[in-house]
C-alpha cells in the first residue's frame, strides 16, 4: 500500500511517499480502507520531533481518517466489510497518511448517511476536542459568553458552532480581518481581528464587548503568552480551557489574574484522555449525527492527494488555511 512516512525528524520535506506492506487487521482491530485523512498541528509536531509522545522514525503521521471497512479482526463485532466509518488514533493505532490502517475497534465509529468522508475525516481531532472542551469540561450553557481563540482554525470554527448551538454568545478571535469575518459566518456574535488588537488590546476589546465583566468561558487554542491574556479576559467564576500551545513557548502565569476571580483553569489533551480510559465513541457518534442533520457545518478548505502531504504541512504551518486540510489517497 501507499503511505507517507517520516524517515527523520525535520521540516515538511521529510514527509516521504513510500510503498509498505498492506496493513492487516489483528485481534480486536478493524482494517479501514482510507478515503480521507485529516491534517492537524499534532502531525506537524510529530514530524518535527516536538510532539510529547513522538516515537522514533520511521513513523506514519495522521490521527484521524474516514473510509470503509476492508476487514475485521478476531473478536470484533458490529462492523461489516464495506461499512462507512470514521476512525481516531488513540495512541496505539498506526498513522492514517496511508491507504489502509488497522485500528482498534474501540476507536472506530460507523458513519450515518449524509456525512461524506472528507467532512468525516475532520471530526475526530478538531471537532471532538472542541466538543469535549465546551460541553464536558466547561459545560457551556445558554446566555453565557464564550471567547474562542484562533476561531478560523479547525478547532476554532467547530467551537464557534458548538458554543452558538448551546445558546452562548460567542466572541471569535482571529488573526486577520478576513479570518475574523469568516469565523463570524459560523454563528459568532462578535468577531475580533487580533492583528488590529495585539497583546493587551485584545483583552480590552473582550472586556469592552462584555461590559467590563469578561467572558464566562475562554477557549485557549494558542498557549504561550496568549494564555496570560485568556486569564485576564475571563469573568469572575469563569473557566479557561487550555488545549494547545501552538505558540511553542512557555506560558507565564500571574496567579493574580485568576485566583481573585475564583476562576478555574481546565486542561485538555485528546490522546492522554483516551489513554486514561475515556471512550470517544459516544461523543464522536453524536457529532457525526449532528453533521448529518445539518446542525453543524464542517469547513474543509483544501483537499490534496496523499502524495502532496508536504504541501499540506507547509500550508498548515504558514497558518494560511481557514478550516481543515484533508489528504485523500485516491
- Res. 132: pLDDT tops 60: yes
* DSSP 8-state code for residue 98: B
The mean pLDDT of 90-116, rounded to a whole number, is 88
pLDDT at 113 over 60: yes
What is the predicted pLDDT for the residue at 94? 60
Spatial CA neighbour of 287 closest among 170, 120, 134, 139: 120
Angle at 72 between CA 67 and CA 74, to 5 degrees: 155
CA 285, 88, 5: angle at the middle one, nearest 5? 155
- Domains for the chain: give ranges and CATH numbers: 2-122+298-328 (3.90.180.10), 126-271 (3.40.50.720)
pLDDT in tens, 260-310: 999 999 999 888 888 888 999 999 999 999 999 999 999 998 999 999 999
Q: For the residues 33-58, what does the mean pLDDT come to?
A: 87
Q: Which helix (H) or strand (E) is 241 found in, with range? A: strand 234-242
4 near 81, Cβ under 8 Å? no
Alpha carbon of residue 188 to chain centroid = 19
Is the pLDDT at 93 greater than 80, yes or no? no
pLDDT band at residue 42 using 50, 70 and 90 as cut-offs: confident
Mean pLDDT for the chain? 93
Predicted confidence band of residue 90 (pLDDT cuts 50, 70, 90)? low
324 secondary structure, DSSP code? E
Query: By the 8 A CB rule, do 3 and 18 touch?
Result: yes
Please state the φ and ψ torsions of residue 254, each to the nearest 5 degrees: -100, 110
For residue 315, the tally of other CB atoms under 10 A from its CB is 18
Three-state DSSP class for residue 291: helix
Cα separation, 327 vs 257, in Å, equals 42
Look up residue 68 and give its three cell numbers.
470503509
State the pairing for strand pair 190-193/169-174. Answer: parallel
**Of the ranges 32-36, 128-132, 252-256, 295-299, which one carries the lowest mean pLDDT score?**
252-256
- pLDDT, one tens digit per residue, over 213-270 is 999 999 999 988 899 999 999 999 999 999 988 777 888 889 999 999 999 999 998 8
Q: What is the pLDDT of residue 71?
A: 97
Share in percent of the chain as helix, strand, coil (round to 5)? 35, 25, 40
Whose grid coordinates read 445558554? 142
pLDDT of residue 271: 83
Span 171-215, pLDDT tens digits:
999 999 999 999 999 999 999 999 888 888 999 999 999 999 999
Using an 8 Å Cβ cutoff, are 34 and 101 in contact? yes
State the residue for C-alpha cell 482494517: 31
**165 pLDDT tier (thresholds 50, 70, 90):** very high
pLDDT of residue 91: 59
Amino acid at each position: 500500500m501507499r503511505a507517507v512516512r517520516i524517515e527523520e525528524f525535520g521540516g515538511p520535506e521529510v514527509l516521504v511517499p513510500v510503498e509498505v506492506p498492506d496493513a492487516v487487521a489483528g485481534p480486536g482491530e478493524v482494517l479501514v480502507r482510507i478515503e480521507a485523512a485529516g491534517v492537524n498541528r499534532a502531525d506537524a509536531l510529530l514530524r518535527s520531533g516536538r510532539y510529547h509522545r513522538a516515537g522514533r522514525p520511521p513513523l506514519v503521521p495522521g490521527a484521524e481518517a474516514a473510509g470503509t471497512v476492508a476487514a475485521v479482526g478476531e473478536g470484533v463485532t458490529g462492523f461489516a466489510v464495506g461499512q462507512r466509518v470514521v476512525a481516531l488514533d488513540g495512541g496505539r493505532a498506526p498513522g492514517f497518511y496511508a491507504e489502509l490502517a488497522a485500528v482498534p475497534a474501540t476507536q472506530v465509529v460507523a458513519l450515518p448517511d449524509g456525512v461524506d468522508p472528507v467532512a468525516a475525516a475532520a471530526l475526530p481531532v478538531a471537532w471532538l476536542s472542541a466538543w469535549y472542551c465546551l460541553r464536558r469540561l466547561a459545560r457551556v450553557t445558554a446566555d453565557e459568553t464564550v471567547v474562542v481563540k484562533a476561531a478560523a482554525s479547525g478547532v476554532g470554527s467547530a467551537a464557534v458552532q458548538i458554543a452558538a448551538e448551546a445558546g452562548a454568545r460567542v466572541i471569535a478571535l482571529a488573526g486577520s480581518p478576513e479570518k475574523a469575518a469568516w469565523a463570524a459566518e459560523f454563528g459568532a456574535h462578535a468577531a475580533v481581528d487580533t492583528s488590529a488588537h495585539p497583546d493587551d488590546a485584545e483583552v480590552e476589546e473582550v472586556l469592552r464587548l462584555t461590559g467590563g465583566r469578561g467572558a464566562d468561558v475562554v477557549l485557549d487554542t494558542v498557549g504561550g503568552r496568549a494564555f496570560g491574556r485568556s486569564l485576564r479576559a475571563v469573568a469572575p467564576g469563569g473557566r479557561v480551557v487550555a488545549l494547545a500551545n501552538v505558540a511553542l513557548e512557555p506560558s507565564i502565569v500571574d496567579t493574580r489574574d485568576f485566583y481573585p476571580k475564583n476562576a478555574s483553569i481546565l486542561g485538555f489533551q485528546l490522546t492522554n484522555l483516551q489513554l486514561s480510559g475515556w471512550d470517544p465513541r459516544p461523543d464522536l457518534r453524536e457529532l457525526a449525527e449532528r453533521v448529518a442533520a445539518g446542525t453543524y457545518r464542517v469547513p474543509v478548505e483544501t483537499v490534496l492527494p496523499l502524495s502532496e502531504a508536504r504541501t499540506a504541512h507547509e500550508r498548515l504551518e504558514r497558518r494560511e488555511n481557514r478550516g481543515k486540510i484533508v489528504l485523500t489517497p485516491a
